[in-house]
Amino acid sequence: MINKLNQVIDYIEKYLADKTVVKDAVFPNTGPFPETLQDTWAKTYAEWLVSSDYELVAAPNFSFTKMDENKDNYAYSEIWLPVRKITK
């Protein structure tokens, strides 16, 4: 497990060494869970990515979710995608 984790860290550091290459596109969302998170994932790929000046890079992406303690099945989530500006 530790060896695999070190491989992932090495992989990420390779891309972060050149700050002009990788940026994180962050997509916050709030609403019914999991529907809002799923819709945000879909729109990120189907709408934002195809119309933006960015492309995905081969690095890990992630999301996190914090459930609202006062509302059932309601949450705040963020999707983080590693991207770089497309050079023309």
Domain with 69, as residue range(s), is 2-85
Q: What is the pLDDT along the chain (88 residues), one digit of tens a residue?
A: 667 667 766 766 665 665 556 789 999 999 999 999 999 999 999 999 999 999 998 888 999 999 999 999 999 999 999 999 888 6
Q: What is the structure's pLDDT at 87?
A: 80
Instruction: Report the number of distinct structural domains present in the chain.
Output: 1
Torsion of CA 18, 19, 22, 25, to 10 degrees: 170
What is the pLDDT, as a whole number, of residue 17? 60
76, burial (CB in 10 Å: exposed 0-12, middle 13-18, buried 19+): middle
Q: How far is CA 5 from the centre of its chain?
A: 19
